[in-house]
Structure 1
Amino acid sequence: MKLRLTPLALLALLAGCSSPATDAPSAPSPPSAPVASAPSSSEPSRSVLLAEADARRLSPTLTAALASPDAETRAASTLSLGRLHDPAAFPLLARALRDPAPEVRDAASLGVGALEDAAPDAASAALLGALATEADPAIRAHQLFDLGRLATDEALAALPAALASEHPVEREAACLGLANAALRGRVPDASLLRRAATRIPDDASSRVRLACAHALSRVAPAPDPADATAIGDELARGLDDADADVRAMSARALARHPGSSLARLTAATEDPDWTVAVHALRALARRAHADHAEPAYAAQIRALLDRLLASGDVAPGPPLHVFLTALDVPAPMARHGAIHTVAADALARLAAVPPDVPATRDRGLAHCAVARLVDLGRGWPARVDTCGLEQVADHERQVLAAEVLTAVEGSEAQRGVYLQRLLRHEHARVRQAAVTGMGALDTREALAALLATLRDDEDAGVTNAALEALRAAGSRRASRLAAMVLAGDTADDGWPAAAVLAALRTALARVRAADDLEGLVTWIATARELSARELASDARPLARHANLAVRRAALELLAEAGVAPPDGEPAAPPRPLDAPSIAAAPQGRVVLDTDRGEVVIELWTDRAPTTVARFVELVRAGFYDGLTFHRVVPAFVVQGGDPRGDGYGGPGWSQRCEDHRATYDRGVVGMALAGRDTGGSQFFITHSPQPHLDARYTAFGRVTSGMDAVDRIQPGDHIRRARFEQ
């Protein structure tokens, strides 16, 4: 997993629990319309229906329940059908859009919207028909949200009118739908973007203002300068909003759109809400680099360092998040003299630990972040090798060295020699970072190192990283490499087809033996990038894999290669929960005792019972005790629960997604994914609202106490103990 900023993770972020469909059985006949009467004791319980969804079965039990006279039974059946993401269920879901019960219609809309890749045109037509007759504003809002997921021309055409609705929930949903369409790669009309932008300063509802700023944070700038300027001006006005979430999202959008002065963004970096400051800094860095205003940005780094050290030691939590964000600039910007000078000064100041104050982990992290910035400017990892004031582990420093070597340019031979040494490091995270760096080099030696890693390194995370690196390298060589692999030749630039195919076959055997879902999807994506059709026969068994994401990726590879899929039904998903287990799913809270304090999580058992049941099972087994938060992205999430500590670990099994309507506001707890139905033990907690995760990642709880502790968490902090309380 999971939620990492790699190409695969970016796809996972956009797709989440969504996935295409190409292997659907024929659709069953829709059941007769329900006749209102008292529910029968012989009808299946909600637990029985949710168990069918967890087993990913389009069963007679589910279809028959749609004709129940009990609205709750029909709603549970419809929700379960939607969670299958199976186009064969579409006729049933489309019929449920007309159900007399609002909860059934809402569940049907969620399920139809999930068919964004499988049947977008038919799904869009069904939802538009339902929207035309729906009277409930809340359900209309959800239909607009789901139309955005489908992202057809007809779906987008419904959004402008909704932006003018008298109902705030519909205006909010119109902007959320616009954002969903942008996540699908659609470029909305500039007039629609301008209409959304005007809502940011003017709408009476803060939810609408937030949604519209979010939409603009997801789309590229309008091509016409006049449109782009007008949109940017409205976003700049959003920086003055009374609601901190709107200010933060406006700043986030300004990283993509012109329209705010350096002075205005600089002022926003001093916002009393730290998430606003973080997003303003990211926008400011882009603007400063584009406008050749590095000296002004350097002055901002110096001011933030002064603030960080105002008490004599590094201030934990938000001040550190803000400072670390300011240091995260591209290598060309780091080379500017003003940036390099302030970074060198900051390195010295952080190293000057007061004699009566022992160095802290936070100070060590800040010292290493500054060392990385210095090394980016110098073009070589000299300072990170010894950074951290003895508070940062060797493997963490070597990961930083690999990141520097990946980001800088030139000296490919020397960088390759250094990375070769890191490929022999005992820690898997270092080897992952090193193999990523090798993928950025256009040398025969780098290719040989990638292939050797795929062949010999049995670590799952390293294998995944090597596949991604090979995929990226193949993308850069696109037409030459594809032609070479197809022909079985060796290209002039040293890409040996036979060696590439052999290494990929070895890697496939490894990830298949481990049933590494992320590895399997990454392997297929790499084979497709290289147009390695010879590997289609090797992937043929994966077309009947139990996991939907693996199965459908394999089917796409087979279709491209003209290879028929195997006969038979897909394998059954592992460890499905039965109805009694779902009915007995624990209700209560989980308390995380972390290095930064207690975090209390209220569990959403009713919304995500199978996820909660498995999470509590791990908590009771002591699985989380001693694990770290391996990933922290300021103003986004903290993520933990990986026994490996690198994002590739889990409990040894996977669980299915549970789609529902909860929104990712601040403090919501979600299941980390690397694609549909790939959840395990890793979870994340949001620092701030993240609407792009809604209906894509299973939300299964909310922090009710301890968000101040969450805000202080840094990578490497521990969950000392997790416990469940009734």
Structure 2
Amino acid sequence: MVKIASLLLLSLFAVSCATAPVVAPPERVVPPVPLDQRVSWLLRLEAQRVLRDPGVTTEAVVTPVVPRPARQADLVSLLFDLDPVVRGRAALAIGRVGIPEGGSALAAALLDAEPAVRGHAAFALGLIGGVEASEPLRRLLADTDPTVRGRAAEGLGLIGAQVSAPVASAFRLPAAAAIAEAFASCIPQMAALAPDDEAYTKTPELEACRLAIFALARLRDFDALARVVLTADGRPATAWWPVAYALQRVGDPRAAPALEVLAHSAGVYTPVFALRGVSATPDGLALAQKLALDPAVDVRVRTAAIRALGRRGSAPAAASLLRLLATPKFPTTLILEVMTALAATEDPSGFDAMIDRLADARPQVRAAAIAGAARIDPDRFLLVGSGLGADREWRVRSALATALGTLEPDRVRSGLIELTEDQDQRVRGPALSALARAGAPGLDARLVAALESPDYVVRATAARLMGERKTAASAAALAKAYDRSLSDAATDARLAALGAIGAIGAIGGEPAVAVLTRALADRDWPVRLRAAELLQGLGDATAAPTRPAPLRHPSEFFESAALLHPTVTPVAMIETRLGTIEIALNVVEAPLTTLNFVALAQAGFFNGLQIHRLVPNFVVQTGDPRGDGEGGPGFSIPDELSALPFLRGTVGMALSGRDTGGSQFFITHSPQPHLDGRYTVFGQVVKGMDVVDQLSLHDVIDRVRIWDGKELR
């Protein structure tokens, strides 16, 4: 159960002594800075989201760079340290800091003698997202090391996913073409791989091909992707799941023939991904019907087939879904999938099936029935749904509010007004959003009143809606709302108030700019970051004071043995009614996230919380004490993005924006490459994945305990 920390960790934190250059007397020989001190610097600077300490100056980067001992708290100096492990870790830190200034130093590091450093630098450039990295990364596609070539492709893909519309084509087309040319030899290397082969890592050449395929998916370039994964006659060169994933992800109808072939593949992942792209074709409909109705088919493939039927939106698809709903002892998770798909078809035959389930004992089924009936036949739904606002479960009333917001405004306003006054604050936010869509006399006054709510989510909702309405008179009320929210542990209301003020923009006048400027000194880093972004959007250059980000730990923490010299990989034991899930926590790539999770678990934070979000074939998510997806521990932690992929059983930190993680986390049911480099990976399920697969929405986490190598607590 206990695992010794990886070789990378041992390499990074081993005691070493780099000899300083000997200078002629009478000058004094300056001893090297101890390795622990250098590592402590880079971890702290990364957490503070700065490249160097105040007052520290760095030399201009001149290529080729000659490694030299780093003697100050400066990530750029550490990037060119004598120790290649320090250089690589510094590159990652610069990427996590995310300041464009770090891009030029990382571009120089692409010429480092060590392949690992070049790879880290390429990934870090992708995290920063600057288009100026395009040319050096494209040159790196010719590197002699296959892993470095793969990281260069990944960096280009990460940048391509972030570029704004005005420059998207100018960046993506040449980037995709360069990747396709560099990886044209992937086809024979992938040909023998099994469809579900997700072993990590593979040979460097195959890992590079995988990264290139995912990069082309991010760049949304079918022509370039086809050169790497299709044969001359347009057929898939392999049934390996990354090919199916990428082909459906590019969203190009020309991928449909290849996806139809892959949808008939063996395994699970390949047909699951392929089914996302074939529902519009006649053959795709027939295959989806066959797979959905066959109880012998893997439940993950059946789920994908059910969703494909929903996207089809035809009477035959609806008929197949109704047959599934009539199946005795059908699992709740699949019932919810069928109801969602049936609603998506909007076929009239599905209405009665929805109405029949309004009295179901399971609240999640009642909520799905409300959403489905309202979508299929709004008029009939309004006739039969008059008493649904009295449902005993707040989630059902919340679903009702959301559904009413999609219907004819004149017929739903009174019901929505009642729901904005619901006894449960978790209903009021969705009801306010729905009422804003419907429109109502005195809506602005109602939103201003909601800014006084004791519930921070209600206040955040009201602020967001006021920003959407963009009335100059709202600026003063939003300024007061920001001040009121300063006493909140959560940042939601402050972020929403600032977002609304930014949306009002210039018409808000000096009070709006004044609030944004004050927010640059907010105690929470995500709020500072948002204020800076909004001020920059208004043409204000006062965003510089946002950094350094405030630390949750004293500076001495970054010199502690617990951080620098962990001796084991801690294991989290998540106990549920179905069994225990064991997760190996990643103290190497995500030390702050791991230590935060351990502290919360040992304080009993997760005990008794529900699975508040479950998307089959995607993720199961928990860690929210509110249960509506809006809760957290009352603080946020910095992202620790890494090159680790999201595979089946990977544990990630949920976010509502950059550096907003806290307590909500998710476990992936299957590989999810679109999450790579966007969410912190801090663990991997090592036992109990069958339990994860069986979890249902609203299941309870009984207890989370941590094995730290000495005791389970």
Interval of TM-score (by shorter of Structure 1 and Structure 2):
0.7 to 0.9
Residues in 2 aligned to 1:247 and 1:565: alpha-carbon distance in whole angstroms? 43
Matched, 1:543 2:520: yes
Structure 2 counterpart of 1:383, from 340, 350, 354? 354
The yes-or-no answer on 1:193 pairing with 2:176 is: yes
Q: Distance in 2 between matches of 1:718 and 1:576?
A: 35
- Does the 8 Å CA contact 1:278/1:634 hold for their aligned counterparts? no
Measured on the aligned residues, the alpha-carbon RMSD in Å equals 4.1
Correspondence for 2:39: 75
User: Helix, strand or coil: the match of 1:125?
Assistant: helix
- Percent identical among aligned pairs is 28
Amino acid of the structure 2 residue aligned with 1:124: G
Letter paired with 2:271: A
Q: Kindly tell me: are residues 570 and 189 of structure 1, through their superposed partners in 2, closer, same or farther at Cα, counting changes over 3 Å?
A: closer
Deviation (angstroms), 1:235? 12
Which residue of structure 2 aligns with residue 674 of structure 1? 656
**Compared with structure 1, are the counterparts of its residues 168 and 68 closer, same or farther at alpha carbon in structure 2 (3 Å cutoff)?**
same
Question: Cα 1:193–1:102, aligned 2, differ >3 Å: closer, same or farther?
Answer: same
| Deviations, residues 425-478 of structure 1 (Å, cap 9, x unaligned) | 44555444444444545x45595487267335433333334444444x34xxxx
Whether 2:199 is the aligned partner of 1:202: answer no
Q: Which residue of 2 aligns with 1:124?
A: 103
Residue in structure 2 matching 1:276, options 270, 277, 290: 270
**2:552 counterpart of 1:552:** no
Q: Quickly say closer, same or farther: Cα 1:638–1:617, change in 2 above 3 A.
A: same
> What does residue 169 of structure 1 align with?
147
Cα deviation code 1:154-183 (max 9, x no counterpart): 411123333233322012112211111123
**Structure 1 residue 680 displacement after superposition:** 1.9
1:114 alignment partner, SS class: helix
* 1:316/1:660 CA distance change after superposition, 3 Å: closer
**8 Å Cα contact 1:203/1:209 also seen in 2:** no
- Over 3 Å counting, the alpha-carbon distance change for 1:431 and 1:219 in structure 2 is farther
Quote the Cα distance in structure 2 between the aligned partners of 1:161 and 1:360: 52
Work out the number of aligned pairs and report it: 608
Of residues 171, 174, 178, the one that matches 2:156 is 178
Does the CA contact (< 8 Å) of 1:593 and 1:719 recur in 2? yes
Query: How far 1:592 sits from its partner (Å)?
Result: 1.3
Contact 1:464 1:519 in 2 (8 A): yes
Q: Does 1:144 align with 2:122?
A: yes
DSSP 3-state at the match of 1:169: helix
- Following TM superposition, by how much is the alpha carbon of 1:78 offset from its aligned partner in structure 2, in angstroms? 2.5
2:698 is the alignment partner of 1:716 = yes
Over 3 Å counting, the alpha-carbon distance change for 1:574 and 1:567 in structure 2 is: same
Q: Which amino acid aligns with 1:504?
A: L
Question: How many Å separate the matches in 2 of 1:388 and 1:327?
Answer: 26
> In the alignment, does 2:507 pair up with 1:528?
no
- The letter for the 2-side match of 1:243 is W
Q: CA separation of 1:506/1:72 partners in 2, compared to 1, >3 Å: closer, same or farther?
A: closer
Residue 255 of structure 2 corresponds to residue 260 of structure 1: yes
Encode CA deviations 1:620-650: one digit per residue, 9 max, x unaligned: 3332222122223444432211111122112
Counterpart CA distance in 2 for 1:403 and 1:385 is 20
Aligned partners of 1:568, 1:370: CA distance in 2, in Å? Answer: 46
Distance 2:546 2:187 in 1: 57
Any stretches of 5+ residues in structure 1 without a counterpart? 1-33, 39-65, 475-480, 486-496
Structure 2 unaligned regions, length at least 5: 1-16, 22-29, 59-73, 190-204, 365-392
Task: Choose between structure 1 and 2 for higher RCO, CA contacts under 8 A separated by at least 6 residues.
Answer: 1
- Determine which of 302, 305, 309 is the counterpart of 2:292: 305
Shift of the 94–569 alpha-carbon distance from structure 1 to 2, 3 Å rule, reads closer
Aligned to 1:36: 19
Shift in alpha-carbon separation, 1:404–1:73, aligned structure 2, 3 A: same
Answer yes or no: is the 8 Å Cα contact 1:364–1:390 preserved in 2: no
Secondary structure, aligned partner of 2:144:
coil
Taking the aligned partners of 1:567 and 1:214, their CA distance within structure 2 comes to 37
CA distance in 1, matches of 2:631, 2:609: 11
How much does 1:528 deviate? Answer: 0.9
Partner SS state of residue 259, structure 1: helix
Query: 1:669 touches 1:685 (CA, 8 Å); kept in 2?
Result: yes
Contact 2:654/2:664, CA 8 A, preserved across alignment: yes
Amino acid at match of 1:36: T
Aligned CA distance change for structure 1 residues 258 and 301 (closer, same or farther; 3 Å):
closer
Q: Secondary structure at the match of 1:74?
A: helix
365, 370, 382: which one aligns with 2:336 = 365
Cα distance, 1:638–1:72 mapped onto 2, change above 3 Å: same
Greater CA drift, 607-616 or 379-388: 379-388
Cα distance change of structure 1 residues 632 and 69 upon mapping to structure 2, 3 Å threshold: same
Paired with 1:669 and 1:284, the residues of 2 have a C-alpha distance of 30
- Counterparts of 2:546 and 2:179, CA distance in 1: 49
- The equivalent of 1:212 in structure 2 is 212
C-alpha contact 1:229 1:259 (8 A) present in aligned 2: no
TM-score of the superposition, structure 2-length normalised?
0.73
Q: Which has the larger displacement, 539-548 or 195-204?
A: 195-204
Name the SS of the counterpart of 2:210 in structure 1. Answer: helix
TM-score by length of 1: 0.72
